[in-house]
Chain A
Amino acid sequence: MPGQYLATIESNEDLGAGVCRLTILAPEIAAAGRPGQFVMLRSGRGLDPLLSRPFSLHQTMADGRMQVLFKVLGEGTRRLAALAAGASVAIVGPLGRGFALTPPPTGTRLGLIGGGIGVAPLLFLAREIQRLLPDGTALDVLLGARSKAELAPLLADFRALGLEPAVATDDGSLGHHGLVPELIDQQWGQEGSHCRVFCCGPWPMMAAVASRCRERGWACQVSLEAMMACGFSACLGCAVAGSGKRERYFHVCKDGPVFQAEDVNWG
């Protein structure tokens, strides 16, 4: 059940390459949040920027803390990046429908695929997969970014879970020189074993991943973004076109942000 809170910033880390990690004391959200769900954040009482900004849960911790990982883009994220420990932030959450975690058929590999800041929800997802799914469930992580600087600080967190992400960078400064969807062929082969994919990143990257999964008959969940005014299905602003199998338009904040790739109209 979502709630509205005035929460305290515990720490604000600058991870370089314009990426920040905020640790927030928000016990209700930390307790209830699931991977793929998001929160709406707003700092201060000013009127510009006006709207709260949506961010995926990067991690929740047992001690009532939670984290968001974000890239500084405009004024809203600049304000959040400037928050010091002890400052307060208005937060609404946890919101939306997260990743569906059902035990996969034996022999199925789970693949988490992140592009750019789309890595944000995947750490939490990896942890929950390890916690909830049977021991020995094969789990691979594929991450793409512009350059090494963007990715390096995050790799350690996956390694702490015993996971070694396969990496692609646009400039070749780390791992495969190219795009993350290409890692699918590299890692799992053209035919490959059966995989179940969880994906978050820029739209073209998710479209490419969705199409590769469709060709192979793999289930693929994607975490979508849309411009949002509210985050809790009051404004109907966050529409995304459906593939026609179900709705004409979905609402990212309520029906998602995580969707089955086949339900989405990739255009």
Chain B
Amino acid sequence: MKADTEIDLKVKIGGCILRNPVMTASGTFGYGREFEDFIDLTRLGAVVVKGISLLPRAGNPPPRVVETPCGMLNAIGLENVGVEAFVQDKLPWLQRTGATVVVNILGNTVDEYAELAQRLDNVEGVAAVEVNISCPNVKEGGVAFGTDPAMAAAVTGAVRRACKLPLIIKLSPNVTDIQLMARSVAEAGADAVSLINTLLGMAIDLQSRRPKLANVVGGLSGPAIKPVALRMVWQAAQAVKIPVIGIGGIMTAEDALEFIIAGATAVQVGTANFINPRATDEIINGIVEYLAQHNMRSINELRNTLRT
């Protein structure tokens, strides 16, 4: 596209410069290669890979996904190949493509998060770490790290000390006060926050009176959550000075632009990739078109311009 060269889409997350503000959301883009037949990964702001743990995880029993009105519930159970296999088998291909790679990590304990971050520090081809704190804290009775400001800050601090990479903390929406969570992790050393992760939900089959997911509850994603996500992103952007990455129900450029106007520096596209594997590419083009129509030369002119 011609407009691409005239309009500056570059955004900064910590020390990391992204080509444009459109990233993929963890868990919806595999390890990147799953999309090689559909899309040029180097067009994207960044590829955020499926959440990685220290050891491989097999995931939950099926059924793991179910559709709900304008959305879906998932209980994948964080199935992943583990950090060693990721670094050995998955990362080299991604790196060769020239894509900007953000590694999403998850742990059972604060120490596990720190160990993961340390393992990824200095690994060539890792541009940043995104920390999924919507995981149960095994040492603290299984309460999610992401629902307690002190625990979230503890994870953030530990990861901050363990690596020098730009650090994105991914916030859970299943909290009463998102501004408190955002401030806690910002003070603990986060370079950026991304939100929202999925909203906890469930669905029941009326014939069998069984839950539609084997795990009973799962994470709601897709267009159904966009208004909630937008509200939380706007609130978080008011609360902290670090960049906010908006996630939740983004299907089109229009959706992405709403998040940017609400204060997001970048966005992540999740469920939309399943339905339209070229969604990210189309969103980038749509953002360029909008900026051109509104005579803006840089994406930075649009951010946080909500008129209230």
Contacts and interface: CB of A to CB of B under 8 A. Distances in A.
A94 B278 CA distance: 16
A240 B30 contact: no
Give the dominant DSSP class at A's interface: loop
23 contacts: A3-B37, A47-B70, A47-B251, A50-B70, A50-B71, A50-B275, A51-B72, A51-B274, A52-B274, A90-B276, A226-B62, A226-B63, A227-B62, A230-B274, A233-B30, A234-B28, A235-B76, A236-B59, A237-B64, A238-B65, A239-B79, A249-B58, A249-B79
Contacts of B63: 226-227
B30 A234 contact: yes
Interface string B10-41: 00000000000000000111100011011000
B275 A48 contact: no
A235 B58 contact: no
A226 B62 CA distance: 8
Q: Which of B37, B50, B63, B64 has the most CB of A within 10 A?
A: B64
Contact of B278 (A2, A4, A48, A232): A4
Interface size class of B (residues with CB under 8 A): 35 or more
A181 to B, nearest CB: 24
A224 to B, nearest CB: 11
Interface in A1-18: 1-4
A238 B29 CA distance: 15
A239 B67 contact: no
Contact of B274 (A1, A2, A90, A234): A234
Contacts of A172: none
Contacts of B29: 234
A42 interface: yes
Nearest to A92: B277
B254 to A, nearest CB: 12
Contact of A50 (B72, B273, B277): B72
B35 A241 contact: no
A234 B273 contact: yes
Interface in A196-231: 226-230
Given A227-B66, A239-B64, A234 B34 contact: yes
Q: Which of A49, A92, A236 has the most CB of B within 10 A?
A: A236
Contacts of A230: 273-274, 277
B82 interface: no
A250 B38 CA distance: 23
A2 B274 CA distance: 14
A79 interface: no
Nearest to B61: A241
A248 interface: yes
B70 A229 contact: no
Contacts of B35: 232, 234
Contacts of B28: 234-235
Contact of A42 (B60, B76, B275): B275
Interface of A: 1-4, 42, 47-52, 90, 92, 226-230, 232-241, 248-249
Given A4-B276, A47-B223, A50-B70, A233 B65 contact: no
Contact of B62 (A42, A49, A232, A240): A240
Contacts of B70: 47-48, 50
Given A229-B65, A236-B59, A1 B74 contact: no
A243 B166 CA distance: 42
A165 B98 CA distance: 54
Nearest to A237: B65
B58 to A, nearest CB: 4
B146 interface: no
B222 interface: yes
Contacts of A227: 62-66
B69 interface: yes
Nearest to A239: B62
Given A2-B37, A237-B64, A249-B62, 6 more contacts: A227-B66, A228-B65, A233-B30, A238-B64, A238-B65, A249-B59
Interface string B219-246: 0001100000000000000000000000
Interface in B150-190: none
A237 B277 contact: no
A50 B271 CA distance: 10
B47 to A, nearest CB: 12
Contacts of B59: 236, 239, 249
Contact of B275 (A52, A239, A240): A52
Ranked 9 nearest A-B pairs via Cβ:
A237-B65, A230-B274, A248-B58, A239-B62, A47-B70, A234-B30, A229-B274, A47-B223, A237-B64
A227 B29 CA distance: 18
A230 B72 CA distance: 12
A51 B277 CA distance: 12
B69 A48 contact: yes
A49 B275 CA distance: 11
Contacts of A3: 37-38
Nearest to B29: A234
